[in-house]
Chain A
Amino acid sequence: MTAARKLWAIGVLGVLAVALIAIYITQWLTVSPPAVASAAPRQGVTQLTLQTVASLGTAPHPEWVSYLVKDAHGHWVHSTLLHVPAHSTVRVTIYQYDTATGLRNPFWAQPQGVIGKTIKLDGKTISALDPDLASHTFAIPDLGVTVPLAGVADNAKNQCSVAPCTLAEAHHTIAFTFRTGAPGRYRWQCFVPCGAGFLFGFGGPMQTVGYMDGFLIVT
């Protein structure tokens, strides 16, 4: 091969490599779950309805644990970008379909930052959860909100395998209320190491917005 051809080959490969890197970075920066607006406030209270599922069931990561959110039309959407009004009261209902993993730090077993310092678990008021029974948490650290979510029993019948799950399948219902603050983007996350198959459970869905992490977009 002549020197000129070598140079051409190296040049073409270089351009190809740069193009692939650019495509990867662009996709990484632009691929994002849709932002979902909560239902219009009623009597000053905004309703936010979520569900957690053990496995999403759809590409690109069908086996990953995930949150879903109900949009204003009542449809379940795979997203963790949640729009809520600023300086408002938000009532959250979470249908929890996953089994328990247990909290790595039991400190998160006590609900914090919620109105009344208590939450409702299947209609019953509780002020703390057995840390071994936690499946996930819904936590907005910058607002001081942390809520432990009870896991479905391992031997529960009719467990949900693919999202979106229905109320006919085994689940717990967790409800609580908190106040939003000033407009801004507040990250939220799960504190339970629930990333199956990853080192110490903290990889995959725990490190990806759209699964167990997201933003509360307060406007």
Chain B
Amino acid sequence: MRDPSTHLRRAAVAWAVLSVLGVLGVVLLLGPHMPPGRGTVEASEQTTANILIASIMLPIAIALWLFFAVALTTFRQRGDQLEDGPPLIGNARVQATWVAGTTLIVLFLAAFGTYTLIEPAKGAAGGGQGSDPLVTPAGKALRVQVIGQQWAWTFRYPAYGGFETTHLVLPVDRLVEFHVTALDVVHSFWAYELGVKADAVPGADNVAFVTPHKLETFSIRCAEVCGLWHGYMSTHGEVVDASAFSAWAQSEKAATALATRVLPTYAHTYYPDPPRRAG
């Protein structure tokens, strides 16, 4: 049998080559298709984060797979005679390298994640920030209220008379301020391609920001198990240009005028009323 250090050197070279190829593959081949896409600043940040994390994880995964491969092929016990392996006596350098390496990776990811969340231009990466957002992007925002109920999403546009609709249409290149709430149980508003995800909680106003930069249709899902039709609580939204948005808003306002008359005054939350069943 060869000197173990020879195996170690070979494995290290194989790891380095496979890691470089793997990371290049992640960045160049997988990267352009990495979810959730580049349709908004927030989604773009998430896509970048996914590529970065995958690029860090892959060499670690390759090291583990390689370790197993070398152990199973090179150090496998052959023949009928069983004998104990050499005693493990520890290796301070290996242990220190492992602890230092993993600590650095975790600290780097924590710093990167925190920076992404608090950088104003990135609007807290599309996450719900509660009723008093820590990060508010600059610019005049279009306010859209998202109301979750078993089992549908509806949307109110306070800037257009507070009409409510089952359609979510947004203007391109304009900051949008979502106010997410619910009327019954906890839901979670997940506009996948927009990179927005915010819990919808009865009695709570959860604010999330997004700036769409691409004309596209995006999917909306509920990301919190909310009852029988949770799996069906999905729909689509659309990002359109400014003039199309304006025309749609006026048209939808007129179409829902009768419902708007009986809606409660626009508020951040609505008490789930009636709380009982009559009869």
Contact = CB atoms under 8 A, between A and B. Distances in A.
B146 to A, nearest CB: 13
A200 B272 contact: yes
B227 A207 contact: yes
Given A187-B229, A208-B228, A106 B259 contact: yes
A206 interface: yes
Contacts of B74: none
A187 B231 CA distance: 11
A201 B277 contact: yes
Interface residues of A, number: 41
B184 A202 contact: yes
B275 interface: yes
A49 interface: no
Given A100-B278, A194-B277, A189 B259 contact: no
Interface in A153-207: 154, 187, 189, 191, 193-197, 200-202, 206-207
Contacts of A131: 262
A101 B278 contact: yes
B185 A202 contact: yes
B58 to A, nearest CB: 39
A213 B152 CA distance: 14
B277 A101 contact: yes
Contacts of B154: 105, 107
B226 to A, nearest CB: 10
A109 interface: yes
A130 B261 CA distance: 10
B273 interface: yes
Given A200-B184, A213-B229, A105 B277 contact: no
A83 B263 CA distance: 34
B73 to A, nearest CB: 39
A110 interface: yes
A58 interface: no
Contact of A101 (B151, B258, B270, B274): B274
B256 interface: yes
B150 interface: yes
Nearest to A135: B279
A101 B227 contact: no
Contacts of B258: 109-110, 127-128
Contacts of B276: 201
Q: Which of A101, A141, A144 has its CB near the most chain B CB atoms (within 10 A)?
A: A141
Contacts of A195: 277
Interface in A94-120: 98-102, 104-110, 112
A104 B149 contact: yes
Interface in A118-165: 127-128, 130-131, 135, 139, 141-142, 144, 151, 154
A102 B274 contact: yes
Contacts of B263: 106-107
Interface in B115-157: 147, 149-152, 154
A196 B183 CA distance: 17
B232 A187 contact: yes
Contacts of A213: 228-229
Interface string A5-23: 0000000000000000000
Contact of B151 (A102, A135, A189, A208): A189
A200 B185 CA distance: 9
Interface in B218-251: 227-229, 232, 235
B184 A104 contact: yes
Given A110-B258, A130-B262, A104 B183 contact: yes
A216 interface: no
Interface string B162-196: 00101000000000000000011100000000000
Interface of A: 54, 98-102, 104-110, 112, 127-128, 130-131, 135, 139, 141-142, 144, 151, 154, 187, 189, 191, 193-197, 200-202, 206-209, 213
Given A144-B166, A201-B276, 8 more contacts: A104-B184, A106-B263, A107-B154, A109-B258, A127-B258, A141-B151, A193-B184, A207-B227
25 contacts: A102-B273, A102-B278, A104-B183, A108-B259, A109-B262, A110-B256, A128-B258, A128-B259, A128-B261, A128-B262, A130-B262, A131-B262, A139-B152, A141-B232, A151-B278, A189-B151, A191-B152, A197-B277, A200-B275, A202-B184, A202-B227, A206-B227, A206-B228, A207-B227, A209-B228
CB-CB nearest 6 A-B residue pairs: A110-B259, A99-B279, A128-B258, A201-B277, A196-B277, A106-B262
